[in-house]
């Protein structure tokens, strides 16, 4: 069932269009993640849904009703900000209750909701503290609690974990997913962290320059990116891209390397897309490319090998090895990969060819 629909939404600031015709249907109970580079319009889109930003064109439809000009409180949404936006002079309890008091909810119900939210988020012992006496992770829980007490149908999260340290971010990511499962509410989550997107989303929406590039489940985007932009955005470390040219025989060849056994349905130059986890080292001359190892990063359970192709114009490649490797900086090595698992992009349009 569709909960939220964006129909040809546009947004201009002073004549400059930052959202350029976005169409999107969000299902009830879905966890949707907006990703894209800085400035692509993710936050602006979220703020328009929340009612914190006017909509220049198109229709915002919630539960079948056009909501473009409805006040934020009428939309059944609650937003959690990156900055937490807590009131410093109020206790945690007062911060949680504030919105409900403004809405003139009866006091016993406010108390009940505040205590239930505190229980859910495990912040009951903090209820009488001020925000200044909370850690970043605790503050973020309070900010989420302020949304929960309102019992919205739709939660909007704007990079809620980006101010937390790496370990806490992983922990909160798991907790937020558990919260989603428990509450069963629709959630839209903005991040530029592709790991958060991959691990949390039912579907990911990839934005670029105010437009949607692709929508799909994490694995759909990982396996079948429509273009080089999406391919480079989904997956960590990032997909390697190697320029290919047509040789005298009309076959695709790595610049400064071997001819490839690939037959794309297009005749121009192409870019090879190679996931670090699918590339392998081999003896020099045995793969489609030779290079020199620049550095080896040992993480214990996995290793990242950075290799400079012999053609010095090419960007270094990253090869991910499960477990530990004996490869060393300065070694000369070849690179190979199963040809049925590489990607080819049209050099002119960046479109995925195969
Ligand atoms: P980030 O990941 O850096 O937060 P974003 O994808 O969320 O980026 P937005 O904050 O939505 O991007 O900004 C989209 C574009 O709109 C940017 O070019 C930004 O400069 C512009 N913009 C946002 N708010 C305003 C405003 N109030 N007035 C003018 N331009 C704005």
* CA-to-CA separations, 132 to 50, 89, 123, 244, 339, in angstroms, rounded: 27, 9, 15, 56, 56
In angstroms, what is the span from residue 226 Cα to ligand 1's centroid?
25
Helices (H), 243-310: none
Structural domain boundaries of the chain? 2-230, 238-346
Distance of alpha carbon 271 from the chain centroid: 24
Q: Which residues pair with 61 in a beta bridge?
A: 5, 66
Q: What is the pLDDT of residues 260-315, one digit of tens each?
A: 888 877 778 899 999 999 999 999 999 999 999 999 999 999 999 999 998 767 88
Q: Which of 50-64, 141-155, 173-187, 257-271 has the lowest mean pLDDT?
A: 257-271
What CATH class does 238-346 carry? mainly beta
Dihedral angle, C-alpha 12, 17, 21, 24, nearest 10 °: -70
9, 12, 13, 14, best to mutate for ligand 1 pocket (most atoms within 8 Å of CB)? 13
| Residue 27 CB neighbour total at 10 angstroms | 14
Report the alpha-carbon distance of residue 32 to residue 190 in Å, rounded: 9
In angstroms, what is the span from residue 47 Cα to ligand 1's centroid?
11
Q: Which residues pair with 205 in a beta bridge?
A: 34, 215
Whose CA is closest to atom 3 on ligand 1? 38
26 Cβ contact list (under 8 Å, min separation 6): 2, 3, 4, 5, 32, 186, 188
pTM for the whole thing? Answer: 0.92
Tokens of 296: 């080896």
Q: What is the pLDDT of residues 132-154, one digit of tens each?
A: 999 988 998 999 999 999 999 99
Report the alpha-carbon distance of residue 305 to residue 312 in Å, rounded: 17
In angstroms, what is the span from residue 140 Cα to ligand 1's centroid?
23
Whose CA is closest to atom 31 on ligand 1? 13
Greater confidence, 165 or 227? 227
Whose CA is closest to atom 30 on ligand 1? 13
12, 15, 43, 47, best to mutate for ligand 1 pocket (most atoms within 8 Å of CB)? 43
Q: Any idea which architecture 2-230 has in CATH?
A: 3-Layer(aba) Sandwich (3.40)
Report the alpha-carbon distance of residue 228 to residue 351 in Å, rounded: 6
16 Cβ contact list (under 8 Å, min separation 6): none
Report the alpha-carbon distance of residue 3 to residue 63 in Å, rounded: 5
Indicate if 238-346 has the same CATH topology as 2-230. Answer: no
In angstroms, what is the span from residue 40 Cα to ligand 1's centroid?
7
Over residues 89-95, the mean pLDDT reads 96
In angstroms, what is the span from residue 86 Cα to ligand 1's centroid?
22
Q: What is the pLDDT of residue 40?
A: 95
Report the alpha-carbon distance of residue 105 to residue 185 in Å, rounded: 22
Tokens of 182: 């428990």
For 156-183, the DSSP string reads EEESTTTTS-HHHHHHHHHHHHHHHHHH
């Amino acid at each position: 069932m569709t909960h939220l629909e964006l129909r040809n939404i546009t947004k201009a600031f002073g004549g400059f269009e930052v959202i350029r015709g976005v169409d999107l249907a969000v299902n009830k109970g879905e966890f949707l993640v907006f990703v894209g580079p800085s400035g692509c319009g993710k936050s602006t889109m979220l703020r328009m849904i929340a009612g914190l930003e006017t909509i220049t064109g198109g229709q915002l439809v919630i539960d079948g009703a056009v909501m473009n000009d409805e006040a934020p409180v009428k939309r059944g949404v609650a937003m959690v900000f990156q900055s937490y936006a807590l009131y410093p002079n109020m206790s945690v309890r007062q911060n949680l209750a504030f919105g409900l008091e403004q809405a003139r909810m009866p006091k016993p119900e406010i108390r009940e909701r505040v205590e239930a939210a505190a229980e859910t988020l495990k912040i009951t012992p903090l209820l009488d503290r001020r925000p200044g006496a909370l850690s970043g992770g605790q503050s973020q829980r309070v900010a989420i609690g302020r949304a929960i007490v309102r019992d919205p149908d739709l939660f909007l999260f704007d990079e809620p974990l980006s101010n937390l340290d790496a370990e806490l971010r992983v922990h909160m990511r798991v907790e937020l997913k558990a919260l989603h499962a428990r509450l069963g509410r629709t959630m839209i989550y903005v991040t530029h962290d592709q790991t958060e997107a991959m691990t949390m989303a039912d579907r990911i929406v990839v934005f670029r320059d105010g437009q949607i590039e692709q929508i799909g489940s994490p694995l759909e985007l990982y396996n079948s990116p429509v273009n080089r932009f999406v391919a480079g955005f989904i997956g960590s470390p990032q997909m390697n891209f190697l320029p290919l040219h047509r040789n005298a025989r009309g076959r695709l060849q790595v610049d400064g390397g071997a001819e490839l056994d690939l037959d794309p349905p297009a005749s121009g130059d192409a870019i090879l897309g190679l996931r670090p986890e699918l590339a392998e080292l081999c003896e020099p001359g045995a793969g489609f490319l030779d290079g020199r190892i620049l550095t080896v990063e040992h993480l214990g359970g996995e290793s990242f090998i950075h290799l400079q192709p012999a053609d010095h114009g090419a960007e270094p490649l990253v090869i991910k090895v499960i477990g530990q490797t004996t490869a060393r900086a300065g070694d000369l090595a070849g690179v190979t990969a199963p040809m049925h698992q590489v990607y080819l992009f049209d050099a002119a349009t960046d479109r995925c060819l195969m």
